[in-house]
Amino acid sequence: MRIMIVDDEVIIRTGLAKVIRWQEIGIELLPPAASAEEALERIPQERPHILLTDIRMSGMTGLELAEEARRISPDIEVIILSGYDDFVYTQQAIRQDVCDYLLKTSRPEEIIKTVLKAKRRVQERWAAESQNYHYKKEEVSRSFGMWVVDGDTQESRGMPPVPLFLPASIDEQQIGDWKKQVLIIAADGWNDSRAESLLLFAVENMLCDLLTCTTIVQKNRIVAAIYLDPRHKDEEAQYRQVIRHIESMMKCTLFVAAGEQVYELEKLHESYLTADEAFGYQMIIDSKMCSYEEIKRRKGGKTVCTYEEEIELSAILLEGDPVALKSWVQRFIKEQRQDPQATLESLSACLHSVAIAAHRWLERVLTATGREKLLDGTPAPFQWRRGDVMIPQDALFQHLYTIMKIYHTQHAEGQTAHVHKAMAFIEEQLEHDVSLQQVAKHVHLHPNHLSEVFKKSTGMTFGDFVIRKKMSRAMEILAVSPAKVSEVASQVGYEDVKYFSKIFKKYTGKTPSEFRDEPTLELKPQ
């Protein structure tokens, strides 16, 4: 894949040529051109696949160059470089179907992303133009999936004696002397879900360029069978250095799970299974690399929540402080992750033990207030398992927070049946404009009678109670969520964010932003 840079400013074209290591992302950099005219003279002979050109140059413009270049090479990808004052030109570039454009002030990683997108489009066109390419790729993926992922190496199933996925660079006569190992790789760091597949594509490309390997993308992760050259003394260093290099080039973070090393091709499936087991530890270890050789020696960590931890948790649940609860969960999970003997099984058992402790607390407080029948509606103790989408600390916090809310929003002490039902209804309707008439209708009381009962039971008017509840909910959201103040206001039934902020400060003494910096979860007495 070849790229030509065109700019009449020498500092720009030389800077672009040197700031990016083009060869390492699979791009051959042709000598930069100093003008559109020079580029047009060279394009027929040098045949670049990607053209990175300034939009405004002396003589022919970048847009005119793009138009002429496409007459010579219809499939050429054109990326326009523009300045902040080139908006009109940029609009014209979009109308002319220019592939992409960049600001001259773009960071190297943004240039790499854009060029990789262009590279991918070129490769996809190559693939679309060649049915043989598609057929071969599908056969390689099918062969790889059956041999490595599924473990189906039976010739009776139509598989050839030598699998199709072997790289062409490997001598079949010598392959028996090479160790093979499966790596499972996850990539993160571009902070854009739409770029996730592009990042995997880029990482997979670089792996194939820098290692002797075969890869497929499976479940948003890369499965790679690598072949370790016995001439290198440190076999693992071969891929560890490559991983660090890719992270540096792509400005991303990679998690690598390494399976057992094997000699026979038929045993690559065993290496895959052990790599898959190691991959599960992504949730509980701090390292970016995890080998099966390390985790298979683990004997298992703590599996039961201690009495002291249960007492501390019970006090937090009774207090109803989500900030304290989140802090407790983070400390608890951190302790388990730092245990060098912890396994996925021991972590799962330990989290289950914490959930059971929370349910024991809820049973005690409901029984003490004569409401033990309400336990029928509580959620069952959960158990985090390998493969769950949520990370352990988030899953545990959400479950414990649910248990805490059951007590503090529906089953608190000292409420009459009607007032208790009214409070529960209010809690569920905080995102709306809750009126006395609406709640009275829900609990089948006259509004005036509900108002009297409510004041007698709670010591405050209905309106003040609703506002305080809304402010409490807003405080909880602000304490645990990065949501914008306008979003928080909407979630508690206020369309006017300024009015919401005024009420919030009246009841808390702080603006929403000030509260988020120093959350206390205490309302001012009125």
The DSSP code sequence of 255-280 is EEEE---BSSGGGHHHHHHHHHHHHG
Within this chain, do residues 144 and 120 fall inside the same structural domain, yes or no?
Answer: no
In DSSP terms, 187 is beta-bridged to 254
pLDDT at 69 over 60: yes
Domain around 352: 307-410
Within this chain, do residues 321 and 273 fall inside the same structural domain, yes or no?
Answer: no
Distance, CA of 499 to CA of 515 (rounded, Å): 16
pLDDT in tens, 6-26: 999 999 999 999 989 998 888
Within this chain, do residues 332 and 373 fall inside the same structural domain, yes or no?
Answer: yes
**According to the 3-state scheme, what is the secondary structure of 40-104?**
HHHHHHHCCCEEEEECCCCCCCHHHHHHHHHHHCCCCEEEEEECCCCHHHHHHHHHCCCCEEEEC
Within this chain, do residues 318 and 285 fall inside the same structural domain, yes or no?
Answer: no
pLDDT attached to residue 328: 94
pLDDT attached to residue 365: 66
Within this chain, do residues 313 and 450 fall inside the same structural domain, yes or no?
Answer: no
- Please indicate, yes or no, if residue 526 is contained in any of the structural domains: no
Cβ neighbours of residue 508 under 8 Å, at least 6 residues apart?
Answer: 471, 475, 515, 520, 522, 523, 524
Collapsed DSSP state (helix, strand, coil) of residue 225: strand
pLDDT in tens, 83-99: 766 655 565 655 556 66
Contact 317, 358 (CB under 8 A): yes
Segment (H or E) for 295? helix 292-295
Distance, CA of 200 to CA of 221 (rounded, Å): 7
pLDDT in tens, 228-265: 877 777 777 878 889 999 999 888 899 999 999 998 88
Within this chain, do residues 38 and 115 fall inside the same structural domain, yes or no?
Answer: yes
pLDDT attached to residue 185: 94
- Please indicate, yes or no, if residue 297 is contained in any of the structural domains: no
> How much of the chain exceeds pLDDT 90, in percent?
25
Give me the phi and psi of 297, to 5 degrees please: -90, -10
- Please indicate, yes or no, if residue 225 is contained in any of the structural domains: yes
CATH number, position 270: 3.30.70.270
Count of CB atoms situated within 10 Å of the CB of 442 = 17
Distance, CA of 395 to CA of 351 (rounded, Å): 9
Within this chain, do residues 405 and 434 fall inside the same structural domain, yes or no?
Answer: no
Within this chain, do residues 140 and 270 fall inside the same structural domain, yes or no?
Answer: yes
* Whole-number average pLDDT of the chain: 82
Distance, CA of 423 to CA of 166 (rounded, Å): 67
> How much of the chain exceeds pLDDT 70, in percent?
82
Collapsed DSSP state (helix, strand, coil) of residue 118: helix
Contact 198, 290 (CB under 8 A): no
Helix/strand/coil percentages in the chain, nearest 5: 60, 10, 30
pLDDT in tens, 331-368: 998 888 888 888 888 888 899 999 999 988 788 766 64
Which of 29-38, 47-56, 88-97, 301-310 has the weakest average pLDDT? 88-97
Segment (H or E) for 506? helix 497-508
pLDDT attached to residue 414: 39
Counted domains in the chain = 4
Within this chain, do residues 483 and 337 fall inside the same structural domain, yes or no?
Answer: no
Q: Is 433 exposed, middle or buried (0-12, 13-18, 19+ CB in 10 A)?
A: exposed
Within this chain, do residues 156 and 281 fall inside the same structural domain, yes or no?
Answer: yes
| Domain closes at, from 82, 98, 128 | 128
CA 207 to chain centre: 21
Distance, CA of 151 to CA of 443 (rounded, Å): 62
Mean pLDDT over 455-465 rounds to 86
Collapsed DSSP state (helix, strand, coil) of residue 161: coil
Segment (H or E) for 495? none
- Please indicate, yes or no, if residue 300 is contained in any of the structural domains: no
More confident residue, 189 or 326: 326
pLDDT at 413 over 50: no
Maximum mean pLDDT: which of 167-181, 187-201, 295-309, 406-420:
295-309
More confident residue, 384 or 273: 273
